[in-house]
Structure 1
Amino acid sequence: MSAAETLDRDLLRRFPLPDHPEESSKEDRGRLLVIAGSRELPGAAYLAGIAALRAGAGKLQIATARSIAVQLGVAVPEARVIGHEETEEGCVDPGSIGPIVEWAKAAQAVMIGCGLQHGPPLEKLLDALLDCGADLPLVLDAAVLGCLAPRAETLRAWSGGAVMLPHAGEMARLLGCAREEVEADPGAAARRAAATYGAVAVVKGPFTHIVAPDGRAFRFKGGGVGLATSGSGDTLAGIVGGLCARGADPLAAALWGVYVHGEAGRILTERVGRIGFLAREILALIPGILQSA
């Protein structure tokens, strides 16, 4: 088992992002479908979607609850917002699953989970997505992580690759262990998850650990405690999703996403304060960090 490498600018040079020359179009930078948001958590879809565009995705589509679709479309005029029906609990209505999956099959990457509600409808949506035969990267976060444990074999068989973005509590549920065990050795937890699920596993924390399914491991120190704030994870998921839509493979997208997210935290710590900056303030910093890295 190899030791974890330090994630910094020098390491990123080994994982270059797709080049987009001046004559390229938005089609060349790919279409990301963000399946996110609910009537209680509309901001999650907003943060993830804007982060994806700031990371360079050419087209953004957001599948979200019909009750917030118009408002979200006004807030994110750059996106095509696809409203789906909801259950009384605020979950995706099963009758909307088929159309959402068709949108997913036409995308270059799919990010799912931010702001969604737990429950059987979400499990049915995930099953339909994993069974659709598409060949594209999946970025899995928040509520959808709670559905993965019984579907490890199915996710390992997903040909497009995937990135999982759990915090310690979510990772504990993925591995069926105590949160304290993950916090004691997050690198080992990430290795177990990457091997179990066949996905790039990211464990967020003071040190963020990234492990590929083949065992390559990386560790990032940076960003600061201020990144532990509402909506911060949604922005990270959006960055990773946007980079996947551009054509980055899941590992490269995860490495760049963690680095950019952390650098934004460092900059905001200096400009705003160690604690108290907002997740939305990360968004405008993304393009500049990508360009300077």
Structure 2
Amino acid sequence: MRETAITADLLRRLPLPQPAEDGDKDQRGRVLVIGGSLAVPGAALLAATAALRAGAGKLQIATCQSLALHLGLAVPEALVVRLPETEAGEIDPEAAPLLRERIERCDSALIGPGMIDQDVAATLTANILICDPGSAFVLDAGALGRLKDLRGILARHNGQIVITPHAGEMASLIGISKSEVLSSPAEIAGETARLLNCVVALKGARTYIASPEGEQWAYSDGNVGLATSGSGDTLAGIIAGLLARGVAPAQATQWGVYLHGEAGNRLARARGRLGFLARELLAEIPSIMAGFDQPLPEVGT
């Protein structure tokens, strides 16, 4: 199947839901970001801030107890949940029951940014996903490790899960080489979406998005500056924020990939293609979304 290009014109036909002018933050949804470790504490910060920049109304961050105060000060807009941690400084999988309770009161949850130990992260993710279906999920980084073994659990969530692997993570996820992924990225994304019953965003210079129903899209208008530390965390957070607002998973992923790429383009024009930081992408997101609220010019004007 030929994939549809993700462009501004496409997204204008898929507008984001807008809150009423007299609406409150509950109307814009609640997102929970689960992530961080002593080795990579900033990943949760990037993802959480991105979710707010994408328009989510309420933010919670669940992280290792030794990081919680620091993240609370760094993101004063968030409610921060202190979780038990392993001796190596990762979120302890024993925290899963507490997290399942919180997810039941959230519209979306992001799992994975900054989680380094693949075994610990995989166990935590599996124990979280046995929750009752309802909330939408984004699974990134450490949360991707053993998803192939969780197909029955993933199927229970009725396509309400988005995964965001790069080529290396996709290779590990489905048990093939990275070169095989790079040789057939569209096909691999489509097959994985059907296998896991989730929306797949296979990240790269050209990002491929596939739905469980067989639809496919691609975005290739970004730039090499986006290939920088923390960039994937920001993308995952944007998608989670859009899901919290009530956007369907495939549409949230299309918008998230476009917003992320266009933010990079704006920074490249202002500062150069190399050297801008993932954290700097975040402030660009609201104005890019606002540009879609402007009426289209009339033909002939």
Alignment partner, residue 127 of structure 1: 126
Alignment partner, residue 41 of structure 2: 42
Displacement, 1:131? Answer: 1.2
> 2-side partners of 1:94 and 1:3: how far apart?
41
Alignment partner, residue 96 of structure 2: 97
Alignment partner, residue 109 of structure 2: 110
Displacement, 1:120? Answer: 3.9
Alignment partner, residue 15 of structure 1: 14
Alignment partner, residue 203 of structure 1: 202
Give the residue type in structure 1 aligned to 2:72: G
TM-score by length of 1: 0.96
| Alignment check: 8 A CA contact 1:36 1:45 kept | yes
Alignment of 1:1-293 (within 5 A): 2-159=1-158, 161-293=160-292
TM-score by length of 2: 0.94
| Alignment check: 8 A CA contact 1:138 1:161 kept | yes
Q: How many residues are treated as equivalent by the alignment?
A: 292
| 1:221-262 C-alpha deviation (Å, 9 max, x unpaired) | 122000000000000000000000010011111000000000
> 1-side partners of 2:33 and 2:55: how far apart?
14
Displacement, 1:121? Answer: 3.5
> 2-side partners of 1:141 and 1:254: how far apart?
13
Give RMSD over aligned pairs.
1.2
> 2-side partners of 1:71 and 1:210: how far apart?
35
| Alignment check: 8 A CA contact 1:174 1:193 kept | no
| Alignment check: 8 A CA contact 2:122 2:142 kept | no
| 1:18-71 C-alpha deviation (Å, 9 max, x unpaired) | 121211110000100000111111110110000000000000000001111101
| Alignment check: 8 A CA contact 2:118 2:145 kept | no
Displacement, 1:160? Answer: 5.9
> 1-side partners of 2:117 and 2:162: how far apart?
19
Displacement, 1:119? Answer: 4.2
| Alignment check: 8 A CA contact 2:93 2:127 kept | no
SS at match of 1:261: helix
Structure 2: which 5+ runs fail to align?
A: 293-301
Structure 1 outlier segments of 4+, above 4 Å: none
Give the residue type in structure 1 aligned to 2:161: A
| Alignment check: 8 A CA contact 2:38 2:90 kept | no
Give the residue type in structure 2 aligned to 1:38: S
SS at match of 1:111: strand
Displacement, 1:122? Answer: 2.6
Displacement, 1:118? Answer: 2.2
> 1-side partners of 2:178 and 2:26: how far apart?
42
| Alignment check: 8 A CA contact 1:145 1:170 kept | yes
> 1-side partners of 2:236 and 2:111: how far apart?
9
| 1:82-130 C-alpha deviation (Å, 9 max, x unpaired) | 0111111222224322112211111010011000132443333222222
| Alignment check: 8 A CA contact 1:138 1:160 kept | no
SS at match of 2:272: coil
SS at match of 1:285: helix
Q: Identity rate of aligned residues, in percent?
A: 47
